[in-house]
Amino acid sequence: MGASIRRREDPRLLMGRGRFVADIALPHTLHAAFVRSPFAHARIASIDAAAARAATGVAAVVTAADLAGRVEPIRAEARYPGFHSSEWPILAGDTVRYQGEPIAAVVAASPYLAEDAAALVAIDFDPLPVVVDAEAAMAADAPLIFPEWGDNLFLRRSGTFGDVDGAFANADVVLRRVFRNQRHTGVPMEPRGCLAQFERDGGAGALTLWTATQVPHLIRSGVAEALGFPEHRLRVVAPDVGGGFGVKGSLYPEEVLIPYLARLLDRPVRWIADRSEDFMASIHAREQVHTLELAARRDGTILGLKARIVVDNGAYSTWPWTASMEIGIAAGNIPGPYKIRNYQFEAFSVCTNKMP
């Protein structure tokens, strides 16, 4: 207690001897590049990958059609009544729902050849109406991102504690304020990336996934589920991770697809995002609108509080936290450390055409 503890991990990292995903060298490694949507919302009319498949050094070009029946989408379901479940496809097939959503993966002998070939994939899009404002997405006439839902809500929650109406009726002062928090994301020094290797052992084989993640044990469960691969034969390794800030705390489509490709091609496959790709393809956070009403006495005693919380959760529910997490955290944190005996909240988790 109270002692300054000397750090032991710094010299290795400061002297450049860290071992990150991009530093792991395996013989015969192939490299993946992704073709991502330039549209926030569109139907995919056609994909022509013939030129990419014929390009120098290309080992494979994979689209959603190649994954059908082999790889499951990411499903992050919450147990709250009325929760709308979304399926986050590993590669978009019929519809893209945010700019940067992966549509195809090109695997080649080098990252440069993979990127050059990815530029040859021709995709025809039919643009759809875009919803980028969470409050506008709640309007009755808003375009629907998942038409089968009937609205753009992942979840609505509400709760009342104490006598809220009585608190406001007896208040000397009632204040109403609207607070808006902008959308943001973490920017780790190391972008996201992963490397996978499949090893045959006479049975089902074994997969190893090296990934820049904060939650390797959870990633193992999520990847095994999506691939239908025995979890006890899947090893997930988080080597040195160059920052996370929550961005590396969820399961991503790339972490599912790269081990699938390694098994398919029987070669190690690596993907390392560049900075702009990392911005487009890593989760965002905290875009919220809080409308608060506070009832108080003139001496400063808080009698009651009402909160209306609107959270923009983007296009899909993220695994494992789900699209229910942020509204729950916000509703629970708003009263803070104060003695607020009368509290009421209504919280909306909204689906929009943005990165989840």
Task: Choose among 104, 106, 122, 13: nearest CA to 67.
Answer: 104
User: Nearest Cα to 209, choosing from 272, 260, 277, 247?
Assistant: 260
Rounded CA-CA distance 156/139 in Å is 14
Q: Which residues of 90-126 are buried (b: 16+ CB within 10 A; e: fewer)?
A: bbbbebbbbbbbbbbbbbbeebebbbbbbebbebebe
The CATH 3.30.365.10 domain(s) of the chain lie at: 134-184+284-350
Strand partners, 177: 292
Nearest 5°: the CA angle 153, 158, 163 is: 160
**Two tokens at 287?**
């875009």
Q: Where residue 265 falls among pLDDT bands split at 50, 70, 90?
A: very high
Burial class (CB in 10 A: 0-12, 13-18, 19+), 148: exposed
pTM summary value: 0.95
Q: How confident is the model at residue 324 (pLDDT cuts 50, 70, 90)?
A: very high
Euclidean distance between CA atoms 145 and 149, whole angstroms:
9
Quote the pLDDT of residue 244.
96
36 close to 103: Cβ distance less than 8 angstroms: yes
Give the pLDDT band of residue 263 (cuts 50, 70, 90): very high
| Token duo for residue 270 | 């690596």
State the average pLDDT over residues 183-196. 96
Question: Contact 252/278 with Cβ under 8 angstroms?
Answer: no
Asked if residue 202 has pLDDT above 80, the reply is no
Radius of gyration of the chain from its Cα atoms, rounded to whole angstroms: 23
Give the Cα separation of 98 and 315 in Å (integer). 7
Mean pLDDT of 271-292: 95
Token output for 41: 């919302």
pLDDT for the residue numbered 203: 74
What is the pLDDT, as a whole number, of residue 201?
79
Strands 269-272 and 193-199: antiparallel
* Cα–Cα nearest to 237, from 217, 255, 252, 257: 217
Report the mean per-residue pLDDT for the chain: 97
Q: Which two tokens stand for residue 127?
A: 């643009």
Q: Which residue has the higher pLDDT, 297 or 6?
A: 297
Give the pLDDT of residue 335: 95
Out of 3.40.50.300, 3.30.70.60, 3.20.20.70, 3.30.365.10, select the CATH number for domain 134-184+284-350. Answer: 3.30.365.10
Please, are residues 208 and 224 in contact by the beta-carbon 8 Å criterion?
no
DSSP per-residue letters across 5-57: PPPSSHHHHHTT----GGG---TT-EEEEEEE-SSSSEEEEEEE-HHHHTSTT
What is the pLDDT, as a whole number, of residue 204? 76
Q: Where in the chain is the domain with CATH 3.90.1170.50?
A: 26-128+186-281
When pLDDT is averaged across residues 270-287 and rounded to a whole number, the result is 95
pLDDT at residue 303 greater than cutoff 80: yes
Distance CA 107, CA 121 (A): 13
Residue 247: how many CB atoms within 10 A of its CB? 22
Listed residue (235, 189, 196, 193) closest to 212, CA to CA: 193
Fold of 26-128+186-281: Aldehyde Oxidoreductase; domain 3 (3.90.1170)
Taking the alpha carbons of 227, 230, 233, 235 in that order, is the dihedral positive or negative?
A: positive
294 closest CA partner among 280, 308, 306:
306
Q: What's the distance, Cα to Cα, between the start and end of the chain in Å?
A: 41
Provide the angle, in degrees to the nearest 10, between the axes of the packed helices 216-227 and 253-265: 60
Phi/psi of residue 85, each to 5°?
A: -90, 135
Which residues on adjacent β-strands are paired with residue 32?
107
Answer whether residue 261 shows pLDDT above 90. Answer: yes
